[in-house]
Amino acid sequence: MSPRHTAVPAESTTPEPTRSEPTRPERTTTATGLAPGESRVGTLPPLPTWNPLTLWYSDGWTVTKRNLIKIKRSPDVLVFAVIQPIMFVLLFSQVYGGAIAVQGSDYTQFLMAGIFAQTVVFGATFSGAAMALDLKEGIIDRFRSLPMNASAVLIGRTNGDLVLNTISMVIMMATGLAVGWRVTSSPLEFLAGVGLLLLFGYAFSWVMALLGMSVKSPEVINNASFLILFPLTFVSNAFVPSETLPTVLRVFAEWNPVSSLVQAVRQLFGNLGTAPVPDIWTMQNPVLTVLIGITVMLLVFVPLCIRKFASISSR
């Protein structure tokens, strides 16, 4: 072998022992690169536990705000809601007032309670029309896909009518004061009368909501509602004393819930005058009659509306 070259040892064919590393558990991460429940500053606090009643209230308030925003964006709804009652006030007080005599009272004082009752009853039709429109446009299907209480849609709709009726009442009272109507009772009795009107309108809106979910199209709801509203408001003591009506109509008027509402409001506003009150239990105890009617409407029509809404949503 040449002295200039040194022998290179052959590479060993024995594999070197591999260094075993401890196995680590697989780490599950989220889109942010953090483990569930882990934050960059520490562990996330536990989610709050919601009371079912709180959830129900929250869902109802959310839908109520939706309906109030719709009124704000469509002011024509409010305009047309108050134009008709104002027209009735001016028509009956200024045009027909001189021809209609009411025993023991000025006709304007007699009329305004009937106009207030008519306003809240007619205002309840917005629930029926809105429910029919939402069904046609598919809004109910969108609500069904959300994790919300089924009754929240109905509560939000009727609450929206309550706000609309409140605004209408303020405008109607200002109109009444302009044509000579006055309240002669105490402030507490006046507030009780306003509350009774709004409660009756709220309860009646559940009746109209059921009607709105029962018709096939929004176009039908107007005709269907007028078949109910016109007999209730005009065959009553709202515009003329019930004693002047024919026997059959007089009996209907004396037991008509709208007549009891009108009589209760006249009593609470101090607009009864000196005319004798009919010797009928509903006329002798109008406030109690109205409270019973409100309770019955809520107990009967709220469950019926929720059941109807659930059956529609399950289709």
- Total count of domains within the chain: 1
User: What are phi and psi for residue 161, nearest 5 degrees?
Assistant: -65, -35
**Domain coverage including residue 192:** 62-313
Is pLDDT of 302 > 80? yes
Residue 258 lies in a domain: yes
Residue 190 lies in a domain: yes
Please give the mean pLDDT across all residues of the chain.
79
**pTM for the whole thing?**
0.77
Contacts of 35 (CB under 8 A, 6+ apart): 27, 28, 29
Whether the Cβ atoms of residue 50 and residue 44 lie closer than 8 Å to each other: no
User: In the chain, what percentage of residues exceed pLDDT 90?
Assistant: 29
Token pair in block for residue 125:
């039709």
pLDDT value, residue 1: 47
Is pLDDT of 123 > 80? yes
pLDDT value, residue 258: 95
Whether the Cβ atoms of residue 260 and residue 293 lie closer than 8 Å to each other: yes
Residue 187 lies in a domain: yes
Residue 54 lies in a domain: no
Is pLDDT of 145 > 50? yes
Lowest mean pLDDT among 84-98, 128-142, 167-181, 199-213: 128-142
Residue 135 lies in a domain: yes
Residue 29 lies in a domain: no
Residue 11 lies in a domain: no
User: In the chain, what percentage of residues exceed pLDDT 70?
Assistant: 77
pLDDT value, residue 186: 93
Residue 200 lies in a domain: yes
pLDDT value, residue 200: 95
Amino acid at 205: S
